[in-house]
Amino acid sequence: MAKKTKTLKSPAASSGPSLRPLTGGGQGAGGSAADYTPSAHQVNAGYGPHFDVLEVGHPDYVALINADTAFWVLSPRAEALDYLLGGDLPKSYLEKEAKLAGDLETVRFKLLPSAVYFNPTERCNLDCGYCYLPREARRTGHDMDPARLLEALAKLKEFFVHTLPEGARPQLVFHGSEPLLAKDAVFQGIEKYGDYFRFGVQTNTILLDQEAIDFLKSHGAGIGISIDGPTAEVADRTRRTWGGSGVFAQTVKVLDDLIGYPGLNIITTVTRENVRSLPELVDFFHAKGVTNALLNPVRGTQLGGRNLMPDQGELAHFFFQALDRTYELFEQTGRKLVIGNFANLLLGLVAPGARRLMCDISPCGGGRCFFAVGAGGEVAPCSEFLGLPEFHGGNLFESSVKDLMATMAFVQVTSRAVEQLEPCKRCAVRHFCGAPCPAEVYALNGKLSAPAPMCDFYAAQARYAFRVIADGRLDALLWDGWQDGLEEIVVM
Amino acid sequence: MAKDKSTKKPISIRYTCKPNGDQVGLSHYLMADAKK
């Protein structure tokens, strides 16, 4: 795909009026009208736009970033000061500032809720070390019966029909815990509401037999599976039955059965147990024919996850190596393996309004773009908050969704913005990170007003993303057709 | 790391996207879509 890369004119080659320093130009100490330059035409003072300079670790480029609008220019190193101090960049930027700001404003504050995590049971047949749901509930919790589940879906449909544009199909993902422990209820829901919701099931595959696969495929439902390593030795360190047996072999069998199904989703939770295997995992997935996967760093919302959080430096090293490997494999084979969470960050840089995942933006998507429903009907801003009762807005069967979303439990999450946080408020990449995740932040700090526990990693990831763009690898690490339906903003 | 004026061109890429009501994905799931 042809990449539309806009290039700025070199300041030296600019035909526009050049700006002089206030005391420069041989005007003498007394100054004159010619010394005056409107502040808007210079950076970093008065009404002039503010640009941060960010070292991105590239031999040829540095980034100049207006953090408020997430606008950036990769400038050749030797010319960065010329761009900053010349007149063209601030002038051209200000001409488009409203559009840039509006674009970011929309994705940060104006999206409608359109997706739901729905846990039809508290129970799980696995005891994964990092689960964000409390262990006791997973062992002995209860299920939502079919009638109750259908009642819940009716309430959710009623909400979305009245809030989303006509024709929009909200996404509803049966999640867990293990949703197939409530298979009858789940399948009845899909059967009845399959024409309205875009359904998905995130399953550990233990109960995903051929009949279940056929049912889900015939209803066009997405199927998400979790694989935490390229070998049983790695993957089974974190994903085990209550008795301690690994499930890698079963999961790979299902993966082989589902390859080629367009609704297949794969998640790897990255922990200290598998972080060093990420490059090999990319090879494994690519060899299997996987085209999309998430490599999500584990959240420390619950103690188990907290104990498995990888070292940030190690995470950055192996995560970037894994991304490099996807590029090498693409070059060698012409076949992409898109790492969705990183692709989403790239979109955050080049098309913020087109991003899909809402963890790396603030406010995050929890309670704003999506919410979570637990097996008892409890509603929280995100599934990460289901294990934190103080963030339950109420119960779906007792309150309207609209009222639930207006509760303080939701509002304190939906109003958490990087502009309020230290050190985020002065960080150049604050809108490429979003200071995730509020549930994790709360669990670790006892308050929401703290930066991301993985702050260093997210900053490093933004730098890596700029290097990807500088090296012309953007298209290779994004989905084909990522520009479809988008409108380009040409600043200069 | 300063260099002579290079032949490299500055790069800036930015697109807008109109919200369509169902573009949001879930980080505990992904965004691939099975089409009916």
**Span A460-489, pLDDT tens digits:** 999 999 999 999 999 999 999 999 889 999
- State phi, psi for A270 to the nearest 5 degrees: -90, 120
Q: Cβ B29–A175 below 8 Å, yes or no?
A: yes
Q: Which of A76, A171, A353 sits opposite B17 (nearest CB)?
A: A353
Q: How many CB atoms lie within 10 A of CB A148?
A: 17
Mutate to test the interface with B, among A79, A159, A163 (most CBs of B within 10 A): A79
**Among chain B residues, CA nearest to A173:** B29
pLDDT at residue B4 in the model: 54
A111 with B19: Cβ contact below 8 A: yes
Mutation target for A interface from B27, B33, B36: give the one with most A CBs within 10 A. B27
| Average pLDDT over every residue of A190-216 | 97
Which residues of chain B neighbour A111 with C-beta distances below 8 Å?
Answer: 19, 23-24
**pLDDT tens-digit profile of A308-345?**
999 999 999 999 999 999 999 999 999 999 999 999 99
pLDDT confidence of A257, banded at 50, 70, 90? very high
Tell me what pLDDT residue A356 has.
87
Tokens of A141: 């919790």
Which residue in B11, B18, B27 is closest to A359 by CB distance?
A: B27
Q: Mean pLDDT, chain A, as a whole number?
A: 92
3-state helix, strand, coil split of chain A in percent (to 5) is 45, 15, 45
How many Cα neighbours within 13 Å face the side chain of A122? 17
Residue A33, pLDDT above cutoff 80: no
**pLDDT of amino acid B1:** 45
A361–chain B nearest CA distance, Å: 12
The pLDDT-based confidence of A8 (bands split at 50, 70, 90) is low
**In terms of C-beta density within 10 A (0-12 exposed, 13-18 middle, 19 or more buried), how is residue A221 classed?**
buried
Whole-angstrom distance, CA of residue A99 vs CA of residue A122: 45
The answer to whether the Cβ–Cβ distance between A7 and B4 falls below 8 Å is no
Q: Is the pLDDT of residue B22 over 80?
A: no
* pLDDT the model gives residue A29: 47
ipTM of the complex as predicted: 0.87
- CA distances from residue B29 to A118, A284, A357 in whole angstroms, order as listed: 12, 20, 10
Q: Read off the pTM.
A: 0.92
CB-based contact B26:A171 (threshold 8 Å): yes
Residues A359, A365, A371, A374, Cα dihedral to 10°: 20
In the prediction, which pLDDT does A268 show?
A: 97
Tokens 């359109």, located at residue = A114
Question: A12 pLDDT exceeds 50?
Answer: no
A116-158 confidence digits (pLDDT tens) = 999 999 999 999 999 988 888 899 899 999 999 999 999 999 9
Question: What's the confidence (pLDDT) of residue A27?
Answer: 40
Does the pLDDT of residue A269 top 70, yes or no?
yes
Which positions in chain A touch B32 (Cβ < 8 Å)? Answer: 222, 262-265, 292
pLDDT at A10: 52
Per-residue pLDDT band at A207 (split at 50, 70, 90): very high
Q: What percent of chain A has pLDDT over 90?
A: 85
Nearest CA in chain B to A263: B34
Express each pLDDT in A60-71 by its tens digit: 999 999 999 999
Instruction: Please check the confidence at residue A21 and state whether its pLDDT lies above 60.
Output: no
Contacts of A109 (CB under 8 A, 6+ apart): A363
